[in-house]
Amino acid sequence: AKEAGRANHQFFTPELNKRASERMWLESNLRHALADNELELHFQPQFAVDGRRLVGAEGLLRWRRRDGTMIPPGQFIPVAEDTGLIQPIGDWVLGEACRRAADLIARGHPLLIAINLSAVQLRRPGLADRVAFWLDAYKVPARCLELEVTESVLMDDSDMVAGTFARLREMGVALAIDDFGTGYSSLSYLKRFRVDKLKIDRSFVTSLTDGSDGGAIAEAIIGMARSLRMQTLAEGVETEEQFGGLARLGCDQIQGYLLGRPMPYEEFAAFAARQAAV
Ligand code: C2E
Ligand code: CA
Ligand code: CA
Ligand code: CA
């Protein structure tokens, strides 16, 4: 066993070694991040193209370490998914989104708050119960909450996923498909699930103006959404040129650095108040 261990060791290049230890660090510290209040939900504004009206926000998870450093979600969400920590973290996100939605309502801004769900969260029973629990706990109407899932979740033909979506639909919670067009090519799931909104991935927004496909894909998505009576929201809009192109194609909503970056809640509440005053 000792020899095997030594032999194995040779496969660990310094690079692999570094990644493995980073991962171990993330695993052991992520366990405490939730308990120690190191997680924050930031909010990125979403606007109706029509009148550039603020209509909602996407809640995006942030991990702020006590030393002030921020760890982006792309780094720790995969670890949370692998370790099962995504269950308590996802539940916290749901509760936090409802708490903030209730506060916005109290301040006179009944906005739609969207959050991201991992496939892992949907493959476990009880998600619809937790959504119902948090909505009731903060007395938030279901129509103020939107859940974003990726296409892979809808390709899962388990009864669990279908049952969960049926219940969420009954409750009146909105469902959006995130990163639409980047995942699976089969669209058959659109017949099985009620979907309220397609979020057009940033890559298609970029190609609107970089001359590659001239926005053919964005145009096709918007056309399809319209005929299926779904809304469209374009993500990662950074320029007025992109905004104009999407407006011409008939896109309903816009999210991106052009109109607002993700920001801590208090900043977002002030942002919403300024928008309402315009
Ligand atoms: P996503 O859901 O596709 O979120 C959009 C990402 O694009 C966010 O990165 C956002 O900050 C960034 N973004 C927004 N506007 C622009 C823009 O104009 N230009 C550019 N270049 N980027 C823009 P972020 O916050 O780092 O989140 C990364 C991913 O982490 C998210 O991608 C989502 O998949 C995941 N994530 C974030 N919060 C949660 C969460 O609470 N639960 C789960 N399961 N996943 C989450
Ligand atoms: Ca998202
Ligand atoms: Ca996205
Ligand atoms: Ca994404």
Higher pLDDT, 139 or 14: 139
Specify the residue with its C-alpha closest to ligand 1, atom 4.
60
Euclidean distance between CA atoms 180 and 55, whole angstroms? 20
In ligand 1, the atom with minimum distance to the C-alpha of 61 is 38
CA of 234 from ligand 3 middle (Å) equals 9
* In the chain, beta strands by DSSP E: 39-48, 53-64, 70-71, 112-116, 145-150, 174-180, 197-200, 231-234, 253-254
User: Atom of ligand 1 at shortest distance to CA of 201?
Assistant: 3
Nearest to 144, CA basis, from 180, 97, 179, 178: 97
Tens of pLDDT, residue by residue over 170-226, are: 999 999 999 998 886 678 888 888 899 999 999 999 999 887 777 899 999 999 999
Say whether 97 sits in a helix, a strand or coil. helix
Please give the distance, rounded to the nearest whole angstrom, from the Cα atom of residue 153 to the centre of ligand 3. Answer: 14
Could you tell me how far CA 13 lies from the centroid of its own chain? 35
Using the atom order of ligand 1, give the atom closest to the CA of residue 237: 18
- pLDDT at position 206 is 94
Residue 6 clears pLDDT 80, i.e. is over it: no
Of 160, 193, 201, 197, the closest CA to residue 177 belongs to 197
Substitution candidate for ligand 1 out of 64, 116, 177 with most atoms within 8 A of CB: 116
| Separation of alpha carbons 140 and 271, rounded Å | 21
Question: Of the residues 34, 40, 46, 60, which should be mutated to test ligand 1's pocket, given the most ligand atoms within 8 Å of the CB?
Answer: 60
Round to whole Å and give the CA distance between 247 and 205. 12
Tell me which residues have their CB closer than 6 angstroms to ligand 1. Answer: 44, 60-61, 72-74, 77, 93, 115-118, 178-179, 202, 235-238, 256-257, 262
Sign of the alpha-carbon dihedral angle for 203, 207, 210, 213: positive
The Å distance, Cα 151 to ligand 3 centre, comes to 11
Q: Which residue is closest in CA terms to ligand 1's atom 23?
A: 236
* pLDDT tens for each residue of 233-273: 999 999 999 999 999 999 999 999 999 999 999 999 999 99
Q: What is the pLDDT of residue 222?
A: 97
Structure tokens belonging to residue 138: 């903060």
pLDDT(108) > 80: yes
Ligand number with the minimum distance to the CA of 149: 2
Pick the closest to residue 115 from 156, 161, 75, 168 (CA basis).
168
Q: Which residues pair with 42 in a beta bridge?
A: 60
Mean pLDDT of the chain: 92
User: Which of 107, 134, 115, 126 lies closest to 73, judged by CA?
Assistant: 115
Give the number of the ligand closest to the Cα of residue 45: 1
d(CA 78, CA 94): 18
Beta bridge partners of 200: 180, 234
pLDDT at 8 over 60: no
Q: What is the CB-side half-sphere exposure of residue 115 using CA atoms within 13 A?
A: 25
Strand, coil or helix: what is 108? coil
pLDDT tens per residue across span 72-85: 999 999 999 999 99
Per-residue pLDDT of 52-64, as tens digits, reads 999 999 999 999 9
pLDDT band at 152 (very low <50, low <70, confident <90, very high): confident
- Residue 64 structure tokens: 């702020």
ipTM above 0.90, yes or no: yes
Tokens of 115: 């959050």
Q: What is the DSSP letter of 185?
A: S
